[in-house]
Structure 1
Amino acid sequence: MVDPHAPDPTQESLWRPLRLLQASMDADIARIYAKKRITGLKPSFVMELLRLHAGGPMTITELAESVNRTHSALSQKVAAMREAGWVQTVEGDDARSKKVTLTDEARGIVGRLAAEWRATEAAIAEIEAEIPYPLSQVVADIEQALARKSFHDRIAEKLAEDPAWD
């Protein structure tokens, strides 16, 4: 039974500030697109669109591998990009397979997307130079800590100590 007076554990979060920061930065990128009248483009689509431009049509599996995502995650993203008009699927090497390719609209802005990618990376490098401990170093340090003990194992240990998990 749930205790109606128990505190809400979601009121505290070490991850929330990072998620909010990324959402804010993505919103700023979206504002850049809006000023160029590029509508329906999410910043989260850009890597895949640039990969398709550079590598040509790919299956969802190939695209997922190229951006280090799961097939399921990329399948959902491709559906969203197709709905927004940035990609389409075409017949693959055999009748059973499909490949994802850019639409004419996406091909028309890919140069701008590459410019935005370069500008974003340069802006992040500028920010990292201004702060005492760059986020890229934080990520590397977290990866090293997780190599010593996985996130899964850390959570499992904490759950083993919590009687509410039983």
Structure 2
Amino acid sequence: MDGKEQVPGSAAGSDPSEEGLWRPLWVLMREMDDDIARIYAAAALGEIRPTHVGELLRLHARGPMTITELAASVGLTHSAVSQKVAAMRTAGLVRTVPGADARTKKVTLTAKAKRLTGRLAAEWRATERASAELEAELPYPLSRVVEDMRAALARRSFYDRIAAQLAQDPEWQ
């Protein structure tokens, strides 16, 4: 060794995308979403995706909304919700209708989606109860981890942490 500290992912020919401290968490979340999708498939709910249920339930509870309003209500970007709305439109779950003026459109549930919202709400509640049950088995609940991470990020943002790391990386300079 030449005495230089090896920075993970910095060796010639290495692929830093093969690293991922939290990759197991993302994989776990996808696996859990896949299990929810299996519930939908077993119930023959059609093209419902777990990632669309929050928006469908929000539209059911609050009525038609613009994409901007829907995005704000679920805490996602306009772009992310626009993509979801396009997929839900293709699946026959939502449609757009004229808004208050000629420039706006509102997203509304189709009759097909309205027929499913009771079952989707039941699944949401069951998933929350199952999540609480799972979390009770853990020595340190994930919801507590999230709270602790938010507190740590309030002290020093993720942006600032990444920027400090980049300042030390010669490949960023």
- CA deviation after TM superposition for structure 1 residue 4, in Å: 9.1
The partner residue of 2:48 within 23, 36, 41 is 41
**Contiguous gaps of at least 5 residues in structure 2:** 1-9
**1:49-105, CA deviations, whole angstroms, 9 ceiling, x for partnerless residues?**
000000001111111111011112111111111111111001111222110000111
Of structures 1 and 2, the one with the larger relative CO (CA 8 A, separation 6+) is 1
- CA deviation after TM superposition for structure 1 residue 11, in Å: 2.2
Q: Are 1:85 and 2:128 an aligned pair? A: no
**Contiguous gaps of at least 5 residues in structure 1:** none
Q: Are 1:132 and 2:139 an aligned pair? A: yes
When normalised by structure 2's length, the TM-score is 0.91
* Residue matched to 1:122: 129
Summarize the alignment of residues 144-159 of structure 1 with structure 2, pairs less than 5 Å apart: 144-159=151-166
- Paired amino acid for 2:161: R
Percent of aligned pairs with the same amino acid = 65
CA distance in 2, matches of 1:142, 1:19: 16
CA distance in 1, matches of 2:13, 2:52: 40
Number of residue pairs aligned between Structure 1 and Structure 2: 164
Q: Are 1:163 and 2:170 an aligned pair? A: yes
Moved over 4 A (4+): none
RMSD: 1.3
CA distance in 2, matches of 1:103, 1:26: 24
CA distance in 2, matches of 1:128, 1:113: 22
Summarize the alignment of residues 65-104 of structure 1 with structure 2, pairs less than 5 Å apart: 65-104=72-111
Question: Which sits farther off after the overlay, 65-74 or 48-57?
Answer: 65-74
- Paired amino acid for 1:142: M
- Paired amino acid for 2:28: L
- Paired amino acid for 1:95: A
> What is the DSSP-based 3-state SS (H/G/I as helix, E as strand, rest coil) of the residue aligned with 1:163?
coil
- Paired amino acid for 2:80: A
Query: Which structure has the highest helix share of the two?
Result: 1
